[in-house]
Amino acid sequence: MKRLLAVTLGILTAIGGFVDIGDIVANAEAGARFGVALAWVVVVGVVGICVYAEMAGRVAAVSGRPVFDLVRERLGPRVGLVNLAGSYLVTVLTLGAEMGGVALALELVTSVHYLLFVPVVAFAAWVVLWRVRFETMERVFGLLGLVLVVFIVALFRLPTDWSQLWGQASHPVPAGDENWGTYGFFAVALFAAAMTPYEVFFFSSGAVEERWSTKDLLTSRANVFIGFPLGGLLSLALMATTAVVFHPLDVQVETLGQTALPVAIALGKIGLAVAILGFFAATFGAAMETGLSAGYTIAQYFGWAWGKFRRPREAARFHVVLQVSVLVGAIALFTTIDPIMLTEYTLVGSAVVLPLTYLPILVVANDRDYLGNRVNGPLANTLGLLYLVVILAVATAAIPLMVMTGVGG
């Protein structure tokens, strides 16, 4: 019974923790511009993250070491350094975008300019990263993020034309005046949002933080195969609500406030308050995850003591990296770049570094020295290779599409 409860709690946390600022922005923008014609990309992305997160969780549970640690050992310091540089840069910028999302959510309930909240959010992020236990942090924000289910409720309360939505989903082509370039750009952004690199760093390092062993493989798989797809449903609901309200008007969504408007129309003030709470929880939780991931990648590469399971004094350099990363994220926001624009850039950056993250996982997950007889089976390898091809295509197309469309035009 206790174990079932732990697994259920893990699944709920995974659902609520799945959505971050990248998912919110990419899905809302795509829904307004293309209806749900890009829903298939979310499905493809969710399957992809499931395939690789399962590998990362298994590697961590069996070897007792996180993926990044093994990447450096298995592929050498040079490959590891390239991996580190790309991943760290994107993760820190994503951290900035997440903190921007938190500040924007606070602006929606106070109408005070978001930049005034940035120092407060950065300080709060640092305090939580410093003081709060890993499990508590993960559970609180993951479970609070579940309130984004309000978008699913709103979808049923809006005058949704389900046959029209199905028509858009089953005819995945650019709608109206949109062109293939823009369609491709948003496909890349949605795919990158679902497969953001920090997710696997966090998942595998989190497994070590929680001291998973082979006994926890069931928990790992339940989180991945039930939690992530249900989290993907929240992303689809975000896309569908903007598709119902904004797409028929041919209005583009550009702010977090606009993303919540369909919920206000459908459910009124309480629904709106819940949606904003969901934004806050999702972005603050993701800020914690990206902050920790930044620390994990650096500390694991250099072989420093890391993790929140250690006291800060025992992992001082890890905590310094966390502080510096939070500071860099805040500085990025103080350039006055629009957090939504920053999110779009980080999604493109994520798309570019995807192969650096996922190829090493595939290699390590096939290494018998680490995994013994728990190495990838034929299905995991087939899917892993198939996704690697997709990832390479997405990484190659990301920057040309960004330039060609002016970041989605």
Shortest Cβ distance from residue 35 to another protein (Å)?
Answer: 17
Closer residue to another protein, CB minimum distance, 109 or 218: 109
Q: Which of 227, 223, 235 is nearest to 149 (CA)?
A: 235
Count, residues in the chain: 409
Shortest Cβ distance from residue 73 to another protein (Å)?
Answer: 33
Q: Which of 57, 29, 67, 38 is nearest to 374 (CA)?
A: 57
The C-alpha atoms of residue 198 and residue 213 are separated, in whole angstroms, by 22
Interaction site with another protein (CB under 8 A): 107-111, 177, 245, 249-252, 254-255, 257-258, 260-261, 264-265, 267-269, 272-273, 276, 409
Q: Tell me the longest C-alpha to C-alpha distance in the chain.
A: 59
Dihedral angle of Cα 76, 82, 83, 84, to the nearest 10 degrees: 100
Closer residue to another protein, CB minimum distance, 90 or 340: 340
Closer residue to another protein, CB minimum distance, 238 or 326: 238
Shortest Cβ distance from residue 250 to another protein (Å)?
Answer: 8
Closer residue to another protein, CB minimum distance, 108 or 326: 108
Give me 376's structure tokens. 């990838």
Closer residue to another protein, CB minimum distance, 272 or 364: 272
Shortest Cβ distance from residue 255 to another protein (Å)?
Answer: 5
Angstrom CA distances, 41 to 188, 194, 293, 368, 373, stand at 8, 9, 25, 33, 33
Shortest Cβ distance from residue 110 to another protein (Å)?
Answer: 6
Shortest Cβ distance from residue 227 to another protein (Å)?
Answer: 30
Q: Which of 238, 201, 217, 192 is nearest to 46 (CA)?
A: 192
Closer residue to another protein, CB minimum distance, 44 or 251: 251
Closer residue to another protein, CB minimum distance, 283 or 293: 283
Angstrom CA distances, 43 to 190, 236, 246, 286, stand at 10, 9, 22, 21
The C-alpha atoms of residue 279 and residue 281 are separated, in whole angstroms, by 6
Q: Are 42 and 235 in contact (CB under 8 A)?
A: yes
Angstrom CA distances, 360 to 78, 209, 389, stand at 13, 21, 14
Shortest Cβ distance from residue 246 to another protein (Å)?
Answer: 8
Shortest Cβ distance from residue 93 to another protein (Å)?
Answer: 22
Closer residue to another protein, CB minimum distance, 177 or 377: 177
